[in-house]
Structures are given as structure tokens and as C-alpha cells.
Amino acid sequence: MPATPTAAVTTLTGRALLLDMDGTLVDSGPAVERVWRAWALQYGLDGDQVLEVVHGRQGFASMAILLPDRPMEQNHEENARMLAQETADTEGVVAIGGAAAFLASLGGLPHALVTSADDALARARMGAAGLALPPVAVTAEHVTLSKPDPEGFLLGAKLLGIDPADCLVFEDSEAGVAAGLAAGMQVIGVGPATTGYGATVSVDSLHQVTVTEADGTLTLTITA
């Protein structure tokens, strides 16, 4: 009989987990696309190109890339309006496969949400997806810079009282992976595209990740 293939297993260790939201825990793609395609149409921009830029970034940072000659003050003002639109539009927002069980497994373990959404949007999307918001959350109000800058992840580590080098990041976007690596952290990429972004290891689903704890050390067992 032919040999049965064995699953490849990767083990990572750390002391805390920092979790992105959109695309990592929550599938908000349809809502994001509705809001940003309408914005692109308003400015005569290609919707597909706009969506490539906005993923993982705060809105004002995306606008600065897409409309480079526009004053940043205007970007911040418009971003505030768009965040309100996104908060009101939760149609089709659901949990990423395995996210509920994964979050439940982290009860009592050091972890934080680090998202480009503001507090209202994070609560709206996590609630729509039926997911509990982690007790520690870094949202847009807490930082001055957007991913790919590492500010958010470094703040998450500080709030948890954990050295950045001992934090493990879960991310799905190119900007997010870059932010985690820039913070000096190992990055678990969610989705096959993250291999190309330089993630430490990539998974297709959170179902592939198991977290255990012993003496303050978290061990992630990742099955391919």
C-alpha cells in the first residue's frame, strides 16, 4: 500500500498574540468593497486598484497614496465620514472560518486586537460576526500612524507588558505583515497570499493553529 502522507507541522513560541481583525478574524470584504468602490467612483479612480491599496491600511493613509496632492487634513476628515459609513454597513460581515474557536482557545492568555478600524467599527464588525472583542484592543484612535508602520503592534505589546520580540502576530494583508515584521515580531499569515508578503509562516485557515500554554510560554502548533 502507498504510504499515507503526513502533515507538516511548524511550531512557534512566544508570550503573547496580536491579532488583526479584517481578513484575519472577520470577513468584511463585501462591506469594504461597497464603501471604497463608491469612493473610487466619486474621484474617477479604478475600483480594483483602490481596493488593492486600502487593504490593511487606515483610510487616511490609503487616500494619501491614491490622491497624493490632497491635503492630509482633508483625508482625515473624509476618513471619519467613511468610518461611520462602514460602521453602519455590516451586511455580509461574518467570522473567518475557525475564528470563533480560535478566540475561545485564548481565554486567559495574553492577546490583543490590533486593527486599523476605529473602536466603533471594530465593535460593529466583531459583533456582526458573533465574535467577542478581546479585553485589550488597539484601534485607530490609539495610534498616529497606519500599518505598515509598526506603531500599533508595538503599542499592543506595551499594553500587554510583553517584549515585542516575544509577540506573535496574525495578519492577512501585505501592510499588516510588513508592520508585524517591522515590530520585530514573528508573523503568522492568514491566507496563501501572505507567503509572498514575507510572513514567517502562512496558513489557509485558523483551523490549522493550536495554542497551548506552559509557564508563561505560548506554543503555536501549525499543521499544514
Catalytic residue annotation: 20, 22
Q: Side chain identity at 50, as an amino acid letter?
A: V
User: Which of these, 157, 213, 210, lies nearest to 19 by C-alpha position?
Assistant: 157
| Cα four-point dihedral sign 83, 87, 89, 94 | positive
Q: What pairs with residue 189 in β-bridges?
A: 171, 202
> Using CA atoms, how far apart are residues 125 and 94, in angstroms rounded to an integer?
8
User: Are 112 and 19 spatial neighbours (Cβ–Cβ below 8 Å)?
Assistant: yes
User: Are 134 and 113 spatial neighbours (Cβ–Cβ below 8 Å)?
Assistant: yes
Q: Which three cell numbers stand for residue 192?
A: 496563501
> Using CA atoms, how far apart are residues 82 and 120, in angstroms rounded to an integer?
12
Pairing of strands 111-114, 137-138: parallel
What DSSP designation does 110 have?
-
Classify residue 122 by burial, with Cβ atoms within 10 Å: 0-12, 13-18, 19+.
buried
